[in-house]
Chain A
Amino acid sequence: GAGVSQSPSNKVTEKGKDVELRCDPISGHTALYWYRQSLGQGLEFLIYFQGNSAPDKSGLPSDRFSAERTGGSVSTLTIQRTQQEDSAVYLCASSLDHPGTAYGYTFGSGTRLTVV
């Protein structure tokens, strides 16, 4: 597609429920990233997929968070047993990134998650 597509754009869920957030990266982009943006805060790194390499999961805040990337394309971020502190905008980005190059990320518009 022309850009990074994220769905849903908004999600309201009850505390304790599981949610799945989807990211469709730009076709051909080898790298895919998930970030979290809380109200008025910066972008917090969550997880990074690069080609066939093992993902960098160092930013996942707890074992309730997981992500997968199928076929090197679409990615799903899953949050189990959601808590109110999980409320944030979840941003996905993709890039042609290779170390040493200057390609930037292209972000999607994000999924606004509200846990009530």
Chain B
Amino acid sequence: QQQVKQSPQSLIVQKGGISIINCAYENTAFDYFPWYQQFPGKGPALLIAIRPDVSEKKEGRFTISFNKSAKQFSLHIMDSQPGDSATYFCAAREEGGKLIFGQGTELSVKP
């Protein structure tokens, strides 16, 4: 059973456009929702994170929108750049501390 579902699997966006990646979860006990960015040959790196008592968090061009009632959250990348091309993972943390990851979205930003 996949606890965190991520979509789309891949995404192509023009430079300057908005990239949107969506995630849905089932377990209402999750207490922390981070997004990770992974470049080829590297481990994932924490990008931005949100707690379930907040509906939106913005850091620079990156924004998380969180809908607790719908059990959904999304990552928006404004003014997308070719350097943003990477694989993005959403995740949700169980009470014990373990992160459950989505399947990943491969983002390609075309110049």
Contacts and interface: CB of A to CB of B under 8 A. Distances in A.
The B interface, classified by DSSP as helix, strand, loop or mixed, is loop
B101 A31 contact: no
Given A99-B31, A100-B31, A102-B32, A45 B45 contact: no
Nearest to B10: A40
B98 A109 contact: no
Give the residue among A43, A56, A98 with the most B Cβ atoms within 10 A. Answer: A43
A56 B99 contact: no
A99 B11 CA distance: 34
Interface string A75-108: 0000000000000000101010111101011111
A68 B101 CA distance: 23
A110 B89 contact: no
Interface stretch (B36-44, B58-66, B67-75, B78-86): B36-44
A48 B100 CA distance: 12
Nearest to B95: A99
Contact of A109 (B31, B32, B41, B104): B41
A41 interface: yes
Nearest to B42: A109
Given A41-B103, A42-B104, A43-B89, A104 B97 contact: no
Contact of B46 (A31, A41, A91, A105): A105
Nearest to B101: A43
Nearest to A4: B43
B109 interface: no
Interface in A15-72: 31, 33, 35, 41-43, 45, 48, 50, 56
Interface of A: 4, 31, 33, 35, 41-43, 45, 48, 50, 56, 91, 93, 95, 97-100, 102, 104-110
7 contacts: A41-B103, A42-B103, A43-B101, A48-B98, A50-B96, A102-B49, A109-B42
